[in-house]
Structure 1
């Protein structure tokens, strides 16, 4: 509990929402009088009518706010008015007494004088995989010293490192105003209402939400609604603005305690407020990007016991183009996915592990499509796709499937694809960009019993594996079989929804997996083909003929440039990759380049260059000569080539990569932290260093 000596009554404070980060962003709020008028009718947009996003209101407030934080409600993250990150008030060491309690006694910060606040603690703040803290606590408004008592803080006499963050709460009316906006015919305002669940946990009360529009000095009520603390999830509201068409207006979003000012604390959230409009001309192509974590490229189409492991994905490939030599950029989830979403190699985007954040000057896919008027959504399975690294940027809807346990299965592909289906069904008539990520194939491998059917050794193994490793490989094969079935069901549901031939659908992965053929298990060690080769299939019926196959080498950094060309968007100002449309038009075209992968860890500093015919690996500087493998004749890379000319070629390719690998000033990534539940999942997945 927290004690304040002496205490006083509540007074004005900004509302607050906790995200596990140390940065603090101060949002200046305007207080205005209560609106008058009649509420505009709340409508439901016809689902067969294409609409785009003409304005994201949180980017156009009347105060110069460079960034609106994202708040989480029931695992769904949205940019929200009423959301901030809080401010650190203490960082240091505390000693636990024999009652397993730790005590905090500090001067109350000036900015917290007479303010109520939500208190959050984080243990081991120097570790990006933080150990979490205690449940949030209410700090009453007051003055004097701030004295805190943390129960069950650890073992007696243990010294703990701790960070304490305070997030202000309000008990009075709060409001936000937009800049003046032109209202067009058939504009609609779409907003998602919620009460911050963390504030509810410490006693936040019922909240009255009001939205008005000021037209020429006259305020008109658009919405007035009370949400109870027990309200679950984001409540979507769509409001027709037809009666204001052709006029200029200022939107105001306001909230106050339902029982009256000062009656209780409130924590209102106005999530993803946007203006939508009918698509003027032909709807631009939508995009569904599916990443199946840890899916090896050579397991797609692999035959085991007379059946393909990936019958559904194989059929999907026949409907578009299969890139048979697609390579990842890094043998781990964070770096490779950031390459997919930015078109940059890891040495440029510099986001290698959770806890580093991509530069705000580096555009990522969702931001690009949001600026083009697309609706943007994502469903991920958390952990290495950490929001704190910037993966949530640009998304109006960003759901993290945590599951009931971080130790059970870890992949939740059925839930993940169900979320994707629901979102796409609601937006299928609109231009949208939707990203899907699942750990289902990732270790530990626990396929459902009906898919855990493999016992013997596959015929492609170059040598016998020890029984434990063979069991892992067979369980992995079962996960691939199960995942393929779920993807097939999802693709059938998309057809039932009617996504149309103008929708671009991509299936890929971030890296593969090794089972001991190269003496390692997993994917975080060396850079063999089994880890670096990933599937890449693109279906775009209006633009890509069926049954196409491209055998030249390509990279994950090529995905975003290709999507941008397929959807008619301008090319990236900076990109490590290139659009693959030229390959699509001439599948026999040889690749005039190498693609690259690297592994920067405490125990490794390796770089790989891959051409159409060879892989070159430079191991930790000075540890051994650059390795050369003939990937066509030796796809598992079992035999190094002793060819000085080829080795020189590989060293030249790698030198070329390094010469352009230094990140520009805008590419420097900053350090951050990940939430405790994400840290737990990372450990369960095996990422501990």
Structure 2
């Protein structure tokens, strides 16, 4: 029997806010438990700082400038996706997400036999069978929503996404499965169910401006990045408290998937990947949310892999790993030949990296959100600081961020992993790193227009901070 694969992406979960990675708050007890059965990668990095290109890189094993999926206005080029390849090898493939940027009608969903996009609720069914299927998928999610939120719909899509995947995990089917889920928490607006939200609240409401904290949460920090907000340290901490509650909520949802695998008796034979597509900024380097940046707060991500049969259980490694390595790692673990065009390498290949790379396309979506979520004109200084496509190379101690059309940003990483921008002369070492970007990454595409927004998705994109 071929091993099953469960691929879990906890959206916007930055590395240093998970207890599995040493965070002093117990935000992820269930991922911690998985780590005892698997391998923790302490130096894993996303190939992009936000959802669409990051998922495309994970699914194809290629960099954004190769697959071209910087936003939903284009297709995913290059290598075959995980779903396409595994489907061709006899796997039952299914996935679910509430984020329209990786919805059923995007190339990220290419190759899945069954892909449920829960932002399409309510929706117009294409057939009676589809209507019946959605009703049975989504009823359990609505029941949980009523219990946890008493009429609030902020997390409706999250529960519906879980209900869809859980149903497919329980299916009586002898074929091995490849299941994918994007757990949207802890993506902003940071509104977890009360029992999680209050678990980490450490601030005094009388000592923070709650309207400022809410503005940061609701509007993706855009007012801060244009200089209209000046949050105090206490207000950033309050936002972090809410964020930690979201991570704990996501962790609890993940535990429900593991519970199903164990009840079915297939946990041991299932390869499980848990990671994040990117992290989140909370004022570092003058940034908030997850646009306009390739700093570590966005691209340093958690990664735990549990192999079938308990192989390498309970181990940790500080090897540099890229998200483009995930697809070839899964192929090797399953005994499947790596498709042509894959740029990553299996983490079990015996080859180690001395650098990782990441890219951020022309910030059409980020700038559009900035312009729509602030009052008045966006100052020229904000455009001068933020309006760049980016490429970077990161070693253990240095990072060079190339700003297309601007001056590069140079950073150093200290023993504790803290990244600091440095003002240093351009020398042979920096020049060598710059050359490695050219050797590894393709040229960025020319500036493009933003994607057309399909009917019914605009409200969800606004909630996620993209508009």
TM-score (norm 2): 0.75
State whether residues 411 and 439 of structure 1, in contact with CA within 8 Å, keep that contact through their aligned partners in structure 2: no
Partner SS for 2:420: coil
Structure 1 partner of 2:415 = 633
Encode CA deviations 1:134-189: one digit per residue, 9 max, x unaligned: xxxxxxxxxxxxxxxxxxxxxxxxxxxxxxxxxxxxxxxxxxxxxxxxxxxxxxxx
Decide whether aligned partners of structure 1 residues 686 and 662 sit closer, same or farther in structure 2, where only a CA change above 3 A counts: closer
Tell me, in whole angstroms, the C-alpha distance in 2 between the residues paired with 1:487 and 1:299: 16
1:335, distance to aligned residue in structure 2 (A):
0.8
Structure 2 partner of 1:364 = 81
Structure 1 partner of 2:292 = 525
Tell me, in whole angstroms, the C-alpha distance in 2 between the residues paired with 1:387 and 1:415: 15
1:417, distance to aligned residue in structure 2 (A):
2.5
1:560, distance to aligned residue in structure 2 (A):
0.6
State whether residues 329 and 597 of structure 1, in contact with CA within 8 Å, keep that contact through their aligned partners in structure 2: yes
2:99 to 364, 382, 400: 382
Q: Say whether residues 1:679 and 2:458 are aligned partners.
A: yes
1:652, distance to aligned residue in structure 2 (A):
2.2
Decide whether aligned partners of structure 1 residues 308 and 645 sit closer, same or farther in structure 2, where only a CA change above 3 A counts: farther
Tell me, in whole angstroms, the C-alpha distance in 1 between the residues paired with 2:261 and 2:80: 29
Report 1 or 2 for greater relative contact order, CA contacts < 8 Å, sequence distance ≥ 6: 2
1:439 to 180, 184, 198: 184
1:341 to 55, 59, 73: 59
Structure 2 partner of 1:323 = 41
Q: Say whether residues 1:614 and 2:381 are aligned partners.
A: no
Greater helix proportion: 2
Greater strand proportion: 1
State whether residues 527 and 599 of structure 1, in contact with CA within 8 Å, keep that contact through their aligned partners in structure 2: no
Q: Say whether residues 1:556 and 2:323 are aligned partners.
A: yes
Tell me, in whole angstroms, the C-alpha distance in 1 between the residues paired with 2:435 and 2:346: 24
Partner SS for 2:263: helix
State whether residues 451 and 481 of structure 1, in contact with CA within 8 Å, keep that contact through their aligned partners in structure 2: yes
Partner SS for 2:316: strand
2:264 to 468, 486, 497: 497
Structure 1 partner of 2:353 = 591
1:414, distance to aligned residue in structure 2 (A):
3.5
1:671, distance to aligned residue in structure 2 (A):
9.5
Encode CA deviations 1:485-534: one digit per residue, 9 max, x unaligned: 22123212221121142211111111000010221110111111111111
How many residue pairs get aligned? The number is: 385
Tell me, in whole angstroms, the C-alpha distance in 2 between the residues paired with 1:432 and 1:341: 16
Structure 1 unaligned blocks of 5 or more: 1-282, 458-463, 584-588, 664-668
State whether residues 9 and 274 of structure 2, in contact with CA within 8 Å, keep that contact through their aligned partners in structure 1: yes
Partner SS for 2:69: coil
Decide whether aligned partners of structure 1 residues 319 and 494 sit closer, same or farther in structure 2, where only a CA change above 3 A counts: same
1:374, distance to aligned residue in structure 2 (A):
1.2
Partner SS for 1:624: coil
Tell me, in whole angstroms, the C-alpha distance in 1 between the residues paired with 2:70 and 2:417: 27
State whether residues 348 and 662 of structure 1, in contact with CA within 8 Å, keep that contact through their aligned partners in structure 2: no
Structure 1 partner of 2:215 = none
State whether residues 49 and 294 of structure 2, in contact with CA within 8 Å, keep that contact through their aligned partners in structure 1: yes
Decide whether aligned partners of structure 1 residues 465 and 532 sit closer, same or farther in structure 2, where only a CA change above 3 A counts: farther
**Structure-to-structure mapping, 1:125-204, within 5 angstroms:** none
1:295, distance to aligned residue in structure 2 (A):
0.8
Partner SS for 1:356: coil
Between Structure 1 and Structure 2, whose CA radius of gyration is higher? 1
Structure 2 partner of 1:648 = 431
1:633, distance to aligned residue in structure 2 (A):
2.4
**Structure-to-structure mapping, 1:204-603, within 5 angstroms:** 283-301=1-19, 307-359=25-77, 362-402=79-119, 408-410=153-155, 412-427=157-172, 429-453=174-198, 454-456=200-202, 465-542=232-309, 544-582=311-349, 590-602=352-364, 603=387
Tell me, in whole angstroms, the C-alpha distance in 2 between the residues paired with 1:375 and 1:573: 22
Tell me, in whole angstroms, the C-alpha distance in 1 between the residues paired with 2:403 and 2:450: 27
| C-alpha RMSD of the superposition | 2.8
Structure 2 unaligned blocks of 5 or more: 124-151, 204-230, 365-386
State whether residues 169 and 260 of structure 2, in contact with CA within 8 Å, keep that contact through their aligned partners in structure 1: no
TM-score (norm 1): 0.52
